Amino acid sequence: MNIMKKTLIKFSILCILAPAIPIYDKASAQDNCPGVPPLTDPLAIRMENGDTLIWDKVDKGLIAAKIKYEKLLEGKGWKIKYESAYRPLQYQEHFYKLVNAPASACKSAELKKHGLVGVVAKPNPNAPHVKGIAFDAIVTNKYGVALNGKNFVNSALITVAHQAGLKFPLIKTDGVHHELNSTVTKLSKTKSKISEKPFNATGKITTKSGFNVRKTPSTSLKRLGLIKKNSNVTIVAITGDWYKIRYGKGYGYIKAVKNGLSITKKENRGTVVAPSGLNVRKSASINSTKTGWLKKGTSVTIVSKNGDWYKIKYGKSYGWVNKKFVKM
């Protein structure tokens, strides 16, 4: 009986003291640090619990650049290891308040856990990681040698990043930091809105310094080469102040619409609008021999006019079509 009484007494004491016994979990350290409010943002809590690589809320432009970057790196046999991407503002605030909180065992433990040393920048809603336009990553070449680090970035990697629409704004202080290149993004959006009008002609460069040939109609992007004075060029289109010309095995742009180039020969273009297509004839007559046929929508180069007929380039020679069925 005495044993039962003693057992009941011990049990009663435990019930009374139980609410006062602290229960620790992963979040308790940051919850109990004096001067540091508890985290409530789900993504901030994920980061606190060790999930530092978060792509939620990342800008779509950054994702597109990331995909392109990975393909370019893969083509060179290089590998990338991501360290962090999106960072919730509340998590930045957490670090800032933690560093500036009163000294305590909790603070020391948290600083050690996150490797925080010295000053932490004041939280900024416009910071690249908070806006979702940046990620941290280290790239290694096919031999396993790092191409970027805390205070350096290899020039070849800078080129590849730029091709993907990324930049390294902090090469000497944070070389792992990749950021969406807003200049390239804006130019890409501008380019998509620019309409190129067909303009078939040949021209001659007259300016003494010649013209830089660009990959796109912008002085900010890649230079393909130089066309010197007195060079002849074949023009295929016009967009703003730029001519699109044949260059090498492809095309390029020169800013020569206003000056520096004289048109030596211009060819007019037309489009076949006849619903059932249009016959091409040997001469400017309905009774002339039929040499071919063009379907509706076909673009043609007009070299001359004779009454109701256009002389056009056809194959390796010329032909004639009724101008009534060609829209200039």
pLDDT at residue 12, as a whole number: 53
Q: What's the pLDDT band for 23 if we cut at 50, 70, 90?
A: very low
Tell me the mean pLDDT in the region 178-204.
68
213 pLDDT higher than 90 = yes
Tell me the mean pLDDT in the region 91-105.
85
pLDDT at residue 2, as a whole number: 55
Domains plus CATH for the chain?
A: 35-184 (3.30.1380.10), 195-266 (2.30.30.40), 273-327 (2.30.30.40)
* pLDDT tens digits for range 215-258: 888 776 678 999 999 999 998 888 888 899 999 989 999 998 88
Sequence-distant contacts of 46-53: CB under 8 A, at least 24 apart: 47/87, 47/88, 47/91, 48/91, 48/94, 52/83, 52/84, 53/82, 53/83, 53/84, 53/85
Q: What's the pLDDT band for 24 if we cut at 50, 70, 90?
A: very low
Q: Any idea which of 50-59, 189-198, 299-308 has the lowest mean pLDDT?
A: 189-198
Residue 320: both structure tokens together: 């004639």
Q: Where are the beta strands (DSSP E) in the chain?
A: 79-84, 134-140, 148-149, 152-153, 166-167, 177-180, 197-205, 211-214, 223-227, 232-239, 242-247, 250-254, 261-272, 278-281, 290-294, 299-306, 309-314, 317-322, 326-327
Question: Is residue 188 classed exposed, middle or buried when 0-12, 13-18 and 19+ CB atoms within 10 A define those classes?
Answer: middle
pLDDT at residue 120, as a whole number: 67
Question: What's at 253, amino acid-wise?
Answer: Y
Percent over 70 (pLDDT), the chain? 84
For residues 144 and 194, the model is more confident at 144
Residue 279: both structure tokens together: 């016959």
* pLDDT tens digits for range 6-19: 555 554 544 444 44
For residues 148 and 35, the model is more confident at 148
* pLDDT tens digits for range 54-87: 998 899 899 999 999 999 999 999 999 999 899 8
204 pLDDT higher than 90 = yes
Q: What's the pLDDT band for 293 if we cut at 50, 70, 90?
A: very high
| pTM: predicted TM-score of the whole model, two decimal places | 0.47
